[in-house]
Structure 1
């Protein structure tokens, strides 16, 4: 079977090669593809093609994708966590170094000088940009995922004292974090102690406006805040008040809005933290690999709306089901199989929220019986999407 993938935003072609020969890449031309691969393209307010099974974001954030609508339509949404982590880490570390020495203001001032005596003007005025060193200063890292963990470790190597906050850190990530990074259980500890704060958490109802009036009131005076995560994590009105009161010395962000521009204490980058050649290639490779795996085997890796699902297929046929997470659904699935006198070779069912995903491998070679089972599942109102996958020989 040949699958079709529609791409947006100039996905790296070398990375797309990971889709393999069995998947047709249609650029932006296909009207009813099996999958999307995109970067910044917004899908909000747009109808999903009937055949669409997967959406892969070549990056970590998925705010440009209506997750709830996709889930209800039986579409698995993937991202590429960690693929651009090193690029963002380097951008944040660079921001810390530049802000400590105030190279932003120093460069702007130098470019205002004129005349044959520019060297003398520089010597006379350079003391105002002496700055400080980051070694010995305290950095608070909020969010210890793929990016935050790297920043915490490298900041330690640069001589900083590092405080890390993340109540949801994975075991795998926790093992990668230096033992010298102090884990804290309350954001107040970071607000009270940090000279620099960098945030790396997703935007949701719990994290929106993490930096509000109450948070800024707890911070030590002269803190530098770096935000390469999401603009909405910071309440701008509260930020401006904190800047005016010199609580925040400088705000550095990768998310520009009009009210942040042309401010002496605010540095805005054009959302390029993860935009390196290496990161874009890594994201394209990971997105292509997860899409190919899902289309060809039904297995799920790095989905934001369905659990990871891996099961070796030895049976002739595999049926994948996206179903509502209702009582006795697994029993009903098993009953439908037994009613057709089909043996189950293996079954895996996991849920996330109101929906669940099932891998059902069948020890059955009679295609007519398998087709009848597929029809029975399609007639079940609790099952949203059914796929039949034949074992590759």
Structure 2
């Protein structure tokens, strides 16, 4: 039995993905894995017993990745689980940016008297808006969310231009050829009536939209940030709004300096806050944990390489280790010395870290214990796990 510790409210549909005959939830002080949403793991201790952390959501700023990697804890996210929810909110905010719905509703609620209908007809012209149809929207980041926003905007009759220097080959193939791609960020900013950002937060992306970038935009442009706090320089935005160098800023991330500004609309981090998105994220996170804990396969990791291999042998060894020369040779030398024949093997790296999976015939518990000890004596090896294939009877 393995124990999963949860933080925050995890949708029951996700917990139901963990079979009761294999997993317990919140029953141990030394859990095998963590299933979280917004819990700040920088301030929450977790020990080396934690094999994996899965976040039901895309961002992992609340997880200390360096610490996790150094102790051999895999970290997973659930990309795409809330993509539709964020897309729908973006479309909502785009519509609200061109139609003064809030102001008109507030005005209408104050009407009184027998001639309310006449008052409505006379006053409605004060709330005339514009249309999204035919306007150009620049989408920075064409991943799970950005690509969906692009399609939805095209369905509304908007002209779309995209920019994503970090897009994977897989995602590029999935994108519609109808989405023109800008050669540079500046090209996108110059052309767009609306700009929406959908890239992950990194040190490189911090304040990617600052004073210089805003000065390139149209004075009538609307800027939306439903990506991450820190992507947009708020001081530069306020300065531009006050100087009428930007029409409107809409964001899902609040701070004291931008609250109550008449040209800033703040939503309280609602991007993925739908029942469906929370269920999707919880189920995806739970199944990702199961896959890793039961087979060693890594999918959607943010600190380890993605690795999958059919588990057809009785025994599987997994090793998290530093990505240095001759590691595979040193590992296989130890197995050869113990007269363990390798049925299948895979090795993948991600930056300074690597992951090796080895399938072999079963061995006694005593011999397996000695083998794991010997492998851990390699200084660059961080963690060794031994998994028995439940489909193969000893």
The SS at the match of 1:167 is coil
User: Residues 373 and 175 of structure 1: is their aligned pair in 2 closer, same or farther, counting only changes over 3 Å?
Assistant: same
Residues 339-382 of structure 1: CA distance to partner in whole angstroms, max 9, x if unpaired?
11111111111111111111111234444333321110122221
Given candidates 286, 289, 293, the residue that maps to 1:288 is 286
Which residue in the other structure is 2:141 paired with?
143
C-alpha displacement of 1:34: 0.5
Which residue in the other structure is 1:48 paired with?
46
Which residue in the other structure is 1:373 paired with?
371
CA–CA distance in structure 2, aligned partners of residues 70 and 115 of structure 1: 65
CA–CA distance in structure 1, aligned partners of residues 47 and 104 of structure 2: 52
CA–CA distance in structure 1, aligned partners of residues 125 and 148 of structure 2: 33
Given candidates 105, 108, 121, the residue that maps to 1:107 is 105
The SS at the match of 1:248 is coil
The SS at the match of 1:125 is helix
RMSD (Å) for aligned C-alpha atoms? 1.6
C-alpha displacement of 1:115: 5.8
Say which is worse superposed, 257-266 or 366-375, in terms of deviation.
366-375
Residues 269-326 of structure 1: CA distance to partner in whole angstroms, max 9, x if unpaired?
1111111111111001100000001011111110001111111122221111111112
Matched ranges for 1:13-92 at <5 A: 13-27=12-26, 30-92=28-90
CA–CA distance in structure 1, aligned partners of residues 343 and 139 of structure 2: 47
Unaligned residue ranges in structure 2 (runs of 5+): none
CA–CA distance in structure 2, aligned partners of residues 338 and 94 of structure 1: 62
Matched ranges for 1:210-229 at <5 A: 210-229=208-227
Which residue in the other structure is 2:359 paired with?
361
Unaligned residue ranges in structure 1 (runs of 5+): none
Residues 94-142 of structure 1: CA distance to partner in whole angstroms, max 9, x if unpaired?
1111111122333344445566655444433322321111010000000
Given candidates 202, 205, 214, the residue that maps to 2:203 is 205
User: Residues 31 and 309 of structure 1: is their aligned pair in 2 closer, same or farther, counting only changes over 3 Å?
Assistant: same
The SS at the match of 1:299 is coil
The SS at the match of 2:87 is helix
Say which is worse superposed, 203-212 or 240-249, in terms of deviation.
240-249
Which residue in the other structure is 1:171 paired with?
169
Say which is worse superposed, 9-18 or 289-298, in terms of deviation.
9-18
The SS at the match of 1:203 is coil
Residues 36-87 of structure 1: CA distance to partner in whole angstroms, max 9, x if unpaired?
0010110113322231000000000111111111111110000000011001
Given candidates 118, 121, 141, the residue that maps to 1:123 is 121
CA–CA distance in structure 1, aligned partners of residues 241 and 102 of structure 2: 17
The SS at the match of 1:283 is helix
The SS at the match of 2:145 is helix
CA–CA distance in structure 1, aligned partners of residues 118 and 186 of structure 2: 46
Residues 157-196 of structure 1: CA distance to partner in whole angstroms, max 9, x if unpaired?
1111100011122233223322221011201111101001
Contact persistence 1:224–1:250 (CA under 8 A): yes
The SS at the match of 1:233 is coil
CA–CA distance in structure 2, aligned partners of residues 114 and 191 of structure 1: 46
Which residue in the other structure is 1:335 paired with?
333
The SS at the match of 1:174 is helix
User: Residues 347 and 25 of structure 1: is their aligned pair in 2 closer, same or farther, counting only changes over 3 Å?
Assistant: same
C-alpha displacement of 1:253: 1.0
CA–CA distance in structure 2, aligned partners of residues 97 and 167 of structure 1: 28
Which residue in the other structure is 1:8 paired with?
7
CA–CA distance in structure 2, aligned partners of residues 267 and 122 of structure 1: 26
User: Residues 182 and 307 of structure 1: is their aligned pair in 2 closer, same or farther, counting only changes over 3 Å?
Assistant: same
Which residue in the other structure is 1:96 paired with?
94
C-alpha displacement of 1:210: 1.0
